[in-house]
Structure 1
Amino acid sequence: MTDITSIRVSSWDRWIDPRSIPAADESVTERCSHELLQEALEGLDADLRAEIGSMKVTSAQVNRTGRFEVPPPRFMALPPGVTMDVPPITDLPPFCDVRVGIRTPGGQEQEAMIWVPLGWNSRFLGCTAGGDFTLTLGDQAQRHVQPPFALRNGFATATIDGTRVDTSAQEVIRADGTIDAELIANLAHRSLHAMTIIAKAIVGALHGRAPRFSYLVGDSVNGRQAMASAQFHPGDYDGIWSEDPAINWTRVIPAGLWPATVMHELDNVLPEEKLEAFRSAVLEACDGADGVEDGFLGAFEPIDLDPHKVVGTATPAGEITQLDAEVMELIWAGPRRVTGERLWFGPRPGTRSWGSHVAMGFPVGLCVTTDVDSQLVPAPFGLSPLMQRWVTRDPEANGIGLTFAEYESLFDQGCAEFAEIATDNPDLTAFRDAGGKLLLSHAGDDEVIPFQGSVNYYRRVIKAIGGLEETRAFARLFVTDGDMHNFCYGLGPGLTLARGMAALMTWVENGQAPETIIAESWSPQDRTLTATRPAYAYPGSTSYNGDGDPADARNYHQVPASEHVLRNFDL
């Protein structure tokens, strides 16, 4: 069979020309059966079956309705009063919907969901995250791949619920107070590996051949899972895109408690009006170094503002005080030991980190506050207390009230005890040697996972591999100016799912490494494209030409980022 799949970006979530997707193979309907698919799983290598655990096909049916009814999310605790009613997913091609129950060697029950289109483009696209969680975000301009998006582009796809755990840590902490190490390992990398092996076996049984190319995409905590695949299972995928990733997990998660710790220790909680005043001062002092004053900073623009210069500025919440400036300075500086030694990065100055964006009922940001009994208190981001809960074995820990000494101890204990999930190993030689290609990207104005961590990781990869050009041969980093976490609704354009996948597939299948990817901004109200800007592979930085529409990518050029600025990303 000739593979004529054509890459053509037509919207934020469509990157395969539908005319190049083969017609439905009706013989697949005959093979979409419990018996045949169970036989395929039992035919897996004995060592793989022992590693994964018992596997049972629980359902296999062809869906020709074009619709999928989304079940309620099982793994996400919503804020009080918030419900999630997700409309049915529509515009789906005919596909075989397969569910596989898994019982891991340690006894954990999981379910893998595999969708295989009758008209298949000969490729597999793995979805990170957990089961139905990947279906809850709906049709939004985002980077997070979900099974419907993969299916509409002709891919076979899969997801598994074993890659998520309850953020309260009640699943991880056993009744006797010990940690379920297998559950941590499953979350870290094993469940996603199992899903991949199972899904490829199912696809091969249905279509009579293995996928020609396999891809994996994940953002945020799922971007960490995508990177873990490259680090732990380098032969699973030909191309991996890790977006806004929570790599360096054992540092990133407790770093989310740093702003609350600073506000507690200095007994001074900053309201959003004062945080906005500090941000405005940063923009006034630094915006424009890339040639255009656009309300956000270029990712590699130098930042030189002493927050104490903002003292006396009037805000609706009162004047900026000396103590306010001290709090802001410590938050920007990032987690520190009591000696002053830097542990990790803080929110980048100029980022809207106080929850101005709300996603799925949650205010998104590291400096969020809330009113409790007429008193302003810190409200750490949902995942931020997770490491504290694991370390202390206390599912009720909320990250509020820590001293600097307690914070340092928590940070160190988490790094030592949960190294398997850290996902910070810069040695990607096995992935490189397997022929894999890695696309690493991060939003420059990420509100919850500062992009500095991804730059730090990439610089460590360069050192481990032996040089920039040697690294660029298989792994490239893109940072998008002004972009927000996950969604392309920020002040600056971001990489859409379609743009990123088109770049990755062109690299893997045609050998054309991406030097530039066009970033896009979309209106959340009417899903219209509002701006474009080029994103350049590290160490490239964006500079405005000086004339033309700043919302048009054609009016920018590439300049190298200053090594003086880049050294700030090293610890």
Structure 2
Amino acid sequence: MRTPLVVIGALLLPVALTLSAVAAVLLTGHGNCPRLSRPSLPGTRILAMSAVAHPDGMGARASRPGRPVASGVPAFCDVTIILTHPPLRDRVRIQVWLPQSTWNGRFQATGGGAFAAGEFERALVPAVRRGYAAASTDAGVPSTAKSPPVWAQRHDRPINDGLLANFAYRSVHEMSRIGKQVIAGFYGRPPAYSYFTGCSTGGRQGLTEAQRYPGDFDGILADAPAIAWNRLTLAQFWPQVVMNEAGTYPTACEFAAFNRAAIAACDTDDGRLDGIIGRPDTCRFDPGRLVGTSVRCHGRTIRISRVDADIVGRIWDGPTTRTGERQWYGLPRGASFSWLAGTTKPLFGPRHGAPFPVAADWIRYFLLRQPHLDVSTIGYAEFERLFEESQARYGAVIGSDDPDLSAFRAAGGKMITWHGLADPAVFPQGTVDYRRRVESAMGGGEATDRFYRVFLAPGVGHCSGGAGPVPTDPHAALVDWVEHDRAPDTLPAATTGAHPHLSGVLCRYPQQATAGRPCH
């Protein structure tokens, strides 16, 4: 899977240089960073490159007002590359952090979240702490996880297909290629092993790498993957559609009452009384059981109505066509409603929906191409049309759910996915569905387990949090599998909140732990 790399270097691009002179220019590092020559990548042009030494790790950066101190970070060089894809005129930023004396010989590329392709410092700090040369990219769509994808539209046509390709699949691959070249130039040798780690959007990016570029990484940690993005984003909007149609927007307190009742009813389905739903797929709690009961919310007593119960039931069931055909999965019982079924009460006027920004922006920017649209008008009929359009138009670009991983397997790659069963944003049943389809395509469960394993985490939210135990170091399990051929049957996990007694292990899918019995 690892191929010899040509040590090519880096480029500092002065404004006055002509393109013919650029090729001869070398980058001179600042501080203790060595001089590098510019990297090379077909289909791209390097616009700029810089290297900044941080001899005290994050000390100088962390001293700025408002920046938390990142302790334990060794001295490193921060190499930043700006590239473009002519004639797209995009500006893709790739950052590579290189430990100066603590490198463990490995490369770790990192993923993003929501519409952000990379998380940079947040992801790079822990990687460099562990001795990795690490990289992140913004895919040319500089945004945070919460900012809208204003890059989606361009002046001469509705969708900027080039930037969408960057975000969907191209830029992580290019980060892997350039990152390895920079590492080889800096240390005088390529990395012995290369890894990718990410959750949510990062999980989707990891799956995409295994599907499209199977030789990029020896190991991939693809957690809570935003799989089938073209369907998932619409399913994330489904709770708002249900409330729009009903004309009723329950409070978070009312939604929480349904979750408490579901947990009380299904807690012991796995044989354990631990305050979480161990098997939400088998929980059949009927929200209609709460009709007529009262809940105390912010000093008021609210009576649960049939409409409230119907809304909750539809949200749990997930989106369907008007004829009852399932389109995607719904919110797991026990998962918080606040992400996708958010509501708000203005100072003046009635309560209304507060949709999940990623879902609303996918509709506004990529489907309806109306950035300022009031999505509260979308009901069942329009939702069904939008769902079909999203599938047809974007499935091949950002679906990220091709089950044929034969090339990744042939390259010797290993992949681990873990997913919280109380995830309020990316439905875990989508991960289970993908794993089952991979089994069908790759010769069954046993054959798939040789290179791809899934672990489900009861009671855990999106990438972390919740009442259940969270994996403590899944990356270490991946490294052990890749480098020592020790495939993990369990992942050590622990809680840090109110349920420390739940610490233990997560079972390899499809195994489950029940009272008095380990994974079986």
| TM-score interval for Structure 1 and Structure 2 normalised by the shorter chain | 0.7 to 0.9
Q: Post-superposition shift, 1:375?
A: 2.0
TM-score by length of 2: 0.87
Q: Is the 8 A contact 2:266 2:277 kept in 1?
A: yes
Q: Is the 8 A contact 2:111 2:201 kept in 1?
A: no
In the other structure, the counterpart of 2:308 is 324
In the other structure, the counterpart of 1:567 is none
Give the one of 323, 339, 350 matched to 1:375: 350
In the other structure, the counterpart of 2:511 is 540
Q: Post-superposition shift, 1:271?
A: 1.4
In the other structure, the counterpart of 1:16 is none
Q: Post-superposition shift, 1:176?
A: 3.7
Give the one of 182, 193, 196 matched to 1:216: 196
User: How many angstroms apart in 2 are the aligned matches of 1:308 and 1:271?
Assistant: 17
User: How many angstroms apart in 2 are the aligned matches of 1:158 and 1:514?
Assistant: 26
In the other structure, the counterpart of 1:565 is none
In the other structure, the counterpart of 2:319 is 335
In the other structure, the counterpart of 1:179 is 159
* Cα-to-partner distance string for 1:175-224 (whole Å, 9 max, x where unaligned): 24521111110001111111111110010011111111100000011211
In the other structure, the counterpart of 1:353 is 337
- Asked if 1:113 corresponds to 2:95, the answer is yes
User: How many angstroms apart in 1 are the aligned matches of 2:219 and 2:448?
Assistant: 15
In the other structure, the counterpart of 1:94 is 75
User: How many angstroms apart in 2 are the aligned matches of 1:132 and 1:421?
Assistant: 16
Aligned residue pair count? 475
User: How many angstroms apart in 2 are the aligned matches of 1:328 and 1:69?
Assistant: 50
Mark the CA change 1:319 to 1:423 in structure 2 (over 3 Å): closer, same or farther: same
In the other structure, the counterpart of 1:277 is 257
Q: Post-superposition shift, 1:291?
A: 2.1
Q: Post-superposition shift, 1:279?
A: 1.2
Q: Post-superposition shift, 1:395?
A: 1.5
Give the one of 112, 135, 153 matched to 2:121: 135
In the other structure, the counterpart of 1:501 is 475
SS at match of 2:89: coil
Mark the CA change 1:110 to 1:88 in structure 2 (over 3 Å): closer, same or farther: farther
Cα RMSD between the aligned structures?
2.3
Q: Which runs of 5+ in 2 are unaligned?
A: 1-28
Q: Is the 8 A contact 1:448 1:485 kept in 2?
A: yes
Q: Post-superposition shift, 1:314?
A: 0.8
In the other structure, the counterpart of 2:518 is 557
SS at match of 1:445: coil
User: How many angstroms apart in 2 are the aligned matches of 1:543 and 1:163?
Assistant: 47
Q: Post-superposition shift, 1:481?
A: 0.8
Q: Is the 8 A contact 2:196 2:206 kept in 1?
A: yes
Q: Post-superposition shift, 1:50?
A: 2.5
- Tell me the amino acid that sits aligned with residue 410 of structure 2: D
- Asked if 1:483 corresponds to 2:483, the answer is no
* Cα-to-partner distance string for 1:235-293 (whole Å, 9 max, x where unaligned): 00000011111111011111111001001101121212221221122122211122222
User: How many angstroms apart in 2 are the aligned matches of 1:102 and 1:538?
Assistant: 41
- Tell me the amino acid that sits aligned with residue 265 of structure 1: E
Q: Is the 8 A contact 2:269 2:279 kept in 1?
A: no
Q: Post-superposition shift, 1:62?
A: 2.5
Q: Post-superposition shift, 1:89?
A: 2.8
Matches within 5 A, 1:45-84: 49-51=41-43, 53-67=44-58
User: How many angstroms apart in 2 are the aligned matches of 1:304 and 1:453?
Assistant: 19
- Asked if 1:405 corresponds to 2:381, the answer is yes
Q: Is the 8 A contact 1:256 1:366 kept in 2?
A: yes
In the other structure, the counterpart of 1:231 is 211
User: How many angstroms apart in 1 are the aligned matches of 2:250 and 2:363?
Assistant: 23
Q: Is the 8 A contact 2:92 2:141 kept in 1?
A: no
Matches within 5 A, 1:194-209: 194-209=174-189
Q: Which runs of 5+ in 1 are unaligned?
A: 1-27, 72-83, 137-145, 355-364, 546-555, 560-571
User: How many angstroms apart in 1 are the aligned matches of 2:414 and 2:259?
Assistant: 37
Give the one of 296, 308, 316 matched to 2:288: 308
Q: Post-superposition shift, 1:88?
A: 4.1
Q: Post-superposition shift, 1:426?
A: 0.9
Q: Post-superposition shift, 1:494?
A: 1.1
In the other structure, the counterpart of 2:15 is none
Q: Return structure 1 stretches of 4+ with deviation > 4 angstroms.
A: 28-31, 68-71, 163-167, 528-531
The structure, 1 or 2, with the larger RCO (C-alpha pairs under 8 Å, 6+ apart) is 1
- Asked if 1:510 corresponds to 2:484, the answer is yes
SS at match of 1:375: coil
Mark the CA change 1:68 to 1:30 in structure 2 (over 3 Å): closer, same or farther: closer
Mark the CA change 1:463 to 1:131 in structure 2 (over 3 Å): closer, same or farther: closer
* Cα-to-partner distance string for 1:87-139 (whole Å, 9 max, x where unaligned): 24332111121111111232101111111112211100101125873335xxx
User: How many angstroms apart in 2 are the aligned matches of 1:69 and 1:490?
Assistant: 35
- Asked if 1:433 corresponds to 2:394, the answer is no
Identity of aligned residues (%): 33
